[in-house]
Chain A
Amino acid sequence: MPLISNGEVVADNWNYLDDEFPLPSEGDVVLTLARLEREQDAVARRTGKTGVELPNSADPEDLSAHLANIDLVILRFPAFTDGRAYSQARVLRKRLGYEGEIRAAGNVLADQAAFMIRCGFDSFETDGRQPPELWRRAARAVTRAYQRGYEPVGGLAVRQGTAPG
């Protein structure tokens, strides 16, 4: 499952912790939302990075109390046609001010790279069928956009007023 970020395959050094496994105080781990909530004090004391999987149907607000301790949020696309995660990412970035990594997992396609990046995604868990080159091309395929206030993408001009800028 190659992890892609900035158009390149990057190493995935996270430890996806099974719920029965004890929570290590060091090292980078990914937890379920339920576990994060149950062990939030222990999580806050950890020295390693902590990531969380937010279910597709969950309210991103559920993370607001924990965001200070979180370095990665994984959002899910059950099908690439299920666009709820775009809004989850948007709420995390804009309303909750989250500045850590947001990753897309599930049915993730390069054709939506530009949309995902503008909503705040940084990395993409892919199935390997679409090479990094395709991801780079897809992220650059759109150089003009009309929607103000979304994350900038290199090479993307957004309509602001009399001159595009």
Chain B
Amino acid sequence: MTLARKATGPRLLTANRLDDGLVVFLAPDGQWHPDAARAAIARNDAQAAALEADGADAVRANLVVGPYLVEITEDDGSIVPVEHRERRRLAGPSVSTSASTAKALAA
């Protein structure tokens, strides 16, 4: 997954965990967390390259699949990806099957 134009703003590194497929973010301690708030933020190209190198290591170690950089903004301290798709990926599904079924049972 590559950005359409070269990112310049703050970036974090995301991937999917190999064993369960869940979305994870690379933290400063080198661990991968599902919580984007714990992600390491690269503030320049050199830092971004370092994150990518860590990502490549994690792929070789069979921890994650397909790491890539996501450009973000930090509104009021909360992490918001710039790209629409990444915002949705971070947020999780906006719909709920159990709610949908509950509605059907109530109808």
Direct contact between A and B judged by beta carbons closer than 8 A:
no
